[in-house]
Amino acid sequence: MKITRIEPVLVGAPTPGCGLLSNRNYFYLLVHTDEGITGLGEATLESHDDSILGALRDLEDLIVGQDPTRIGYLMQVLIRQRFWKGGVVKASAISGVELACWDILGKSLGKPVWQLLGGAVRDKIRVYANGWSGGATDPAVIRDKAQEAQAYGYAAFKFSLAIPSWPLHDTETVRRVAKAAETVRDAVGPDAAICFDGHGRYDSNLAIQIGRALEEYDLMFFEEPVQPEDEEGMLRVARSVNIPVAAGERLTRPQEFRRLIEKRAISIAQPDLAHCHGFNEGLKVAHLAEAFDAFVAPHCPMSPVITAISLHLDAIAPNFLIQERLFLNDWRNEVITEPLQVKEGFIELPKKPGWGIELDEELIRKHPRIVAGTPRLFRPDGAVCDW
């Protein structure tokens, strides 16, 4: 079998309430073969669609003509056969191709991907909702939205407050985050899992203050309390706060995870399969975490496609903790022909060959790619000029 072409499919999927230019095009990759089998992958990287397209053009000559079932070999070619590593842009482009190749392999053998890798450890996957709050900071709105997500079948919830903060001893931010956690806990009850995402906004001192204020609300984890490259800062938080620390969405290689895991700076690794060079690299991270008695909880704030793909890793990793899923209560949930359903906090494991999903082509044609306006630069005097 040979790859004949790669086909990018971009779907305009803005976040409700954030306007059309909300960085939300779903970026899918269809990898076509000479045997008529087409694989589906995802490489969504918010607001970097053109960069991903450029990376794919650069890699195309290394992809077309290759055997898509030799996944390990092809990935070594794509990672090593160009001088520049490329960071998350190149990693996301490669991820999309790698994921599509697994889909091809599973379809060619008539087996779901999880069955190709030793079989499932579990039959249903525990999930938590992300994005359910819509960026709300008002406790009354947070309460209502948490209960709405709970009514959709979720039993675990991650929240974040995108508010400006001072780098040190910001008592207002500490108070507002703690109030939000109290509100969520009161809304969803004592047994639901709650997680807080710092998005790397804080230095280690403020993160420790926030973490200690959150301890009484019994959180499952504190995600990205500091920037992921601040390994010593992450370690300080982990040692100072009685909440497990999670990170990894912005890391692209197992070596980067290793430094955090072996320091015990994190106890939950969060590879994003659309950014970390694909499924096999994400599985390596899971195995690495297992060797240090840590857990894996794949990052996944995008479309149902990458969620469904992540379920296969969740199925086979013994140290799997919980799967992130963007709260979708609109047409975006139907971008695949058989939408994922959350029941009592779980999603059933896909049973069909490959990833077990297909794009709804009729639906995605109704949502073409969103193209941003004319790029602009800031002048030194603060004014804006067009390119």
Catalytic entry in 32, 199, 275, 367: 199
Region of 203 (left: φ > 0; alpha: ψ -120 to 50; beta: rest) is beta
Residue 156 has pLDDT above 50, yes or no: yes
**Burial class of residue 240 in the structure, from the number of CB atoms within 10 Å of its CB (0-12 exposed, 13-18 middle, 19+ buried):** middle
Q: Is residue 50 classed as helix, strand or coil in its secondary structure?
A: helix
pLDDT of the residue at 386:
35
* Residue 371 banded pLDDT, cuts 50, 70, 90: confident
Region of 50 (left: φ > 0; alpha: ψ -120 to 50; beta: rest) is alpha
pLDDT of the residue at 164:
86
pLDDT of the residue at 281:
97
- Catalytic, 169? Answer no
Catalytic entry in 32, 275, 277, 299: 299
Two tokens at 340?
């994922």
Which of 286-289's residues contact partners 24+ apart within 8 Å by CB, and which partners?
A: 286/313, 286/317, 286/319, 286/320, 287/317, 288/254, 288/257, 288/258, 288/261, 289/257, 289/261, 289/319
Q: Where are the beta strands (DSSP E) in the chain?
A: 3-12, 25-33, 38-42, 124-130, 156-159, 193-197, 221-223, 245-247, 268-269, 295-296, 323-326, 346-348, 376-378, 384-386
Give the chain's domains with CATH numbers: 3-111 (3.30.390.10), 114-355 (3.20.20.120)
- Catalytic, 299? Answer yes
Mean model confidence pLDDT for the chain: 92
Q: What's the Cα-to-Cα distance from 362 to each of 37, 330, 340, 367, rounded to whole Å?
A: 20, 16, 18, 10
pLDDT of the residue at 123:
92
pLDDT of the residue at 4:
98
pLDDT tens digits for 101-154? 999 999 999 999 999 999 999 999 999 999 998 888 899 999 999 999 999 999
How far apart CA 355 and CA 321 sit, in angstroms, is 21
How far apart CA 1 and CA 3 sit, in angstroms, is 7
Mean pLDDT of 158-177: 90
